[in-house]
Amino acid sequence: MNRKLWMYTCCCAAFLAACNSGTQQQGDKRNNDSVSVYLTTADQQALFAQQAALGKVPDTATINIVMDSSRQFQEIEGFGASVTGSSAYVMQNYMSPDKRQALLEELFGTTTGLGMNYIRMSIGASDFSTGPYTYNDIPAGERDDSLQHFSIARDEKEVVPILRQISGINPNIHIMGSPWSAPAWMKTSGKLEGGSLRPDAYDVYARYFVKYLRAFAAEGIKITALTIQNEPQYEALYPTMKMTAPEQGTFIKEHLGPLLEKEGLQQQTAVMLFDHNWNSPEYPISILDDSAIAKYTAGAAFHCYEGAVGAMSLVHDAHPEKGLYFTECSGGSWSPAFADNLQFMVRQLFIGTVNNWSKNVLLWNMALDERNGPTTNQPGTGEGNRGCMTCRGVVTINSRDGAVTRNVEYYAIAHFSKFVRPGAKRIYSSAVADKGLENVAFLNTDGSRVMVVMNTTKEEKVFSVKEGAVVSYALKPGAVVTLVWQ
C-alpha cells in the first residue's frame, strides 16, 4: 500500500475522533472566547485535523483580516457532490450494509459526520451510470406523448435506495435533478447521444419533469431543485443534448414554468438555468433579461471546466435578485498532486465561488471505484466515447472489499460542510489575496461564525482575524484552516 493511500485510509479514525471531541467541547467553548481550529496541510501531515484552540492575543500580525458579521451577503444552501448512478452502484454493490451506513453517516451526518446537505443526481443516465437510459425509452420510430411508459425502474435498484438512505440520515437534504438527455424520441437526433429537443416535444418534456418529481416523491425522496439541461452547449457520444439560450428560455416560459405552477410544484422545486461553464455568462443573463421567464427561475448554475470564476459575479451584477449555484467540478488522475488539488479546490471552487455569490458548492462524483468507474458505455462506440475515464470521486470504494479511500475532495468539502450550516450568511471579511491568503467567512443561524483561510504561497503566513477580539494563526504553505467561533 503506498503512503498516500495509507494516510487517506488511516486518517478516518483520527478525523471522527476530532469531530466527536469538537462536539463534546462545544459547551465549554461557548463560555469563553476560544476559537476552534481544523487544519489540512499540503504534505498531508494534517487532514482536517483539530488543532489547539486559539485565544485572544494582541494584534501584532503583519496580515490582518477584519471580519464583520453585520455586513451580510447571500444565504448558503449547502455543500456536497453528485450521487451519480455510478456512485450509487459502487456503494450499493461493493459495500456491506454496515459499511455503507457508516460511510453515509460520515458524509451526511450532522453531529459527528461532515454534514453534507446538498447533492445532485442525473435525471436518467449521465456519463457516470451503468448504461445509457432515460425514464421513457421506447423502440426507435415510436412516440409516447401520453408518457404511459414512464418508469424509474432502472433507478430503483441502486439510486433510489441510496437517496432514501441519505434522506433518512439528513431529512433536510437538498437534492438537485439534472438531465443529460431527453428521451431519444423527443430529440432531433433520434438517440440519446447529441441532438436537440424537438419543438413539438416541449410540452411532453415538461410533463416528463413533473412525472420525475412525483415518482421520486412517491419513494420518499424530495427533489428540491432542477436544472433544465446539464451542459447545454455540449454534445458527445454519451447521453447529451444541446439547448441554446433562446430554446431554454422558451421551454421554461411557455411549458415547464406554467406547468410547475399549475401542478403546485413551483414553490417546492427551484428551477435553475444554464448548468454549464464559467465562460458563457451571457447565456443565463440573456434568459433572465426576460421577466416573463425569470419569474419561473431561482437563478443560474455553473461548472468549472472553462472560463474564470468571476463570471458568476457578472451574472449577479446583471440580476442581483437571482441566486447563483455551483453544481459541478471534478478532480482526476490527470492531476495527482494532493497539494495542487487542495489549493485549486479550496481557492477556486469553494472560496472563489462563494465570494462570487454562489449559494452552494457541489463537486462531481461522490464515489467511484478504483478504476474511476463504472462509466456509461454505449455498446459499439469504443473506449474513447465513455465520458471521463480519469475522473476521481470524493471517495474511492474498492470493488473487492468495499474499503474506502478519502480523496482530496473529501477534505476540501469538510472544511466547509462540517461547520457552515444551511441558512448561514456569507459575511464580510477583508481581502488579503495579494498577501497570499484567500478567505471567506460565514455567520450561522445559531450565531457561530466560521472562516476558511487558504495559504496560496510557498512560505508560512502569520495572520490575525479581528471582530472585536483578535486571534492569530501561523498557516503553513499550501495549507487550509477552518476557524470556528462558537
Assess whether 189 and 306 both reside in one domain.
Answer: yes
List the CATH number of the domain containing 475. 2.60.40.1180
- Give the confidence band of 19 by pLDDT, cuts at 50, 70, 90: very low
pLDDT of residue 60 exceeding 50, the answer is yes
Question: Torsions phi, psi of 38, nearest 5?
Answer: -130, 130
List the CATH number of the domain containing 366. 3.20.20.80
Assess whether 338 and 274 both reside in one domain.
Answer: yes
Q: Which pLDDT value is given to residue 34? A: 87
Q: Which pLDDT value is given to residue 28? A: 35
Cα 461 versus chain centre, distance: 30
Assess whether 100 and 87 both reside in one domain.
Answer: yes
pLDDT of residue 1 exceeding 80, the answer is no
Condensed to tens digits (0 to 9), the pLDDT of residues 419-474 reads: 999 999 999 999 999 999 999 999 999 999 999 999 999 999 999 999 889 999 99
Of 158, 231, 409, 438, which one is the catalytic site residue? 231
Residue 461 lies in a domain: yes
Assess whether 242 and 362 both reside in one domain.
Answer: yes
Residue 436 lies in a domain: no
Question: Torsions phi, psi of 393, nearest 5?
Answer: -85, 165
pLDDT of residue 18 exceeding 80, the answer is no
Q: Which pLDDT value is given to residue 33? A: 67
- Give the confidence band of 387 by pLDDT, cuts at 50, 70, 90: confident
Average pLDDT over residues 407-420: 98
Where in 59-130 does DSSP place strands (E)? 63-75, 78-82, 118-123
Residue 213 lies in a domain: yes
107 lies in which domain range?
77-419
> If 0-12 CB within 10 Å is exposed, 13-18 middle and 19+ buried, where does residue 127 land?
buried
Average pLDDT over residues 293-311: 98
Residue 399 lies in a domain: yes
Q: Which pLDDT value is given to residue 453? A: 98
Cα 416 versus chain centre, distance: 12
Residue 262 lies in a domain: yes
Contact between 125 and 178 under an 8 Å Cβ cutoff? The reply is: no
Condensed to tens digits (0 to 9), the pLDDT of residues 128-169 reads: 999 999 999 999 999 999 999 999 999 999 999 999 999 999
For the question of residue 231 being annotated catalytic, the response is: yes
Assess whether 340 and 208 both reside in one domain.
Answer: yes
Assess whether 214 and 293 both reside in one domain.
Answer: yes
Cα 296 versus chain centre, distance: 23
Last residue of a domain, one of 402, 419, 436: 419
Distances (CA, A) of 333 to 136, 266, 472: 35, 40, 36
Assess whether 355 and 374 both reside in one domain.
Answer: yes
Residue 279 lies in a domain: yes
Residue 431 lies in a domain: no
Assess whether 33 and 152 both reside in one domain.
Answer: no
Structural domain count of the chain: 2
In the block, cell 451526518 appears at 109
pLDDT of residue 306 exceeding 90, the answer is yes
Assess whether 109 and 203 both reside in one domain.
Answer: yes
Residue 427 lies in a domain: no
pLDDT of residue 217 exceeding 70, the answer is yes
Does the pTM exceed 0.75?
Answer: yes
Average pLDDT over residues 184-210: 98
Assess whether 62 and 100 both reside in one domain.
Answer: no
Sheet holding 395-397, edge to edge: 367-368, 395-397, 404-406
pLDDT of residue 334 exceeding 90, the answer is yes
Assess whether 322 and 345 both reside in one domain.
Answer: yes
Q: Which pLDDT value is given to residue 16? A: 45
Of 77, 105, 158, 328, which one is the catalytic site residue? 328
Query: Can you give the length of the chain in residues?
Result: 486
pLDDT of residue 380 exceeding 90, the answer is no
For the question of residue 328 being annotated catalytic, the response is: yes
Q: Which pLDDT value is given to residue 13? A: 41
> If 0-12 CB within 10 Å is exposed, 13-18 middle and 19+ buried, where does residue 468 land?
exposed
Assess whether 238 and 284 both reside in one domain.
Answer: yes
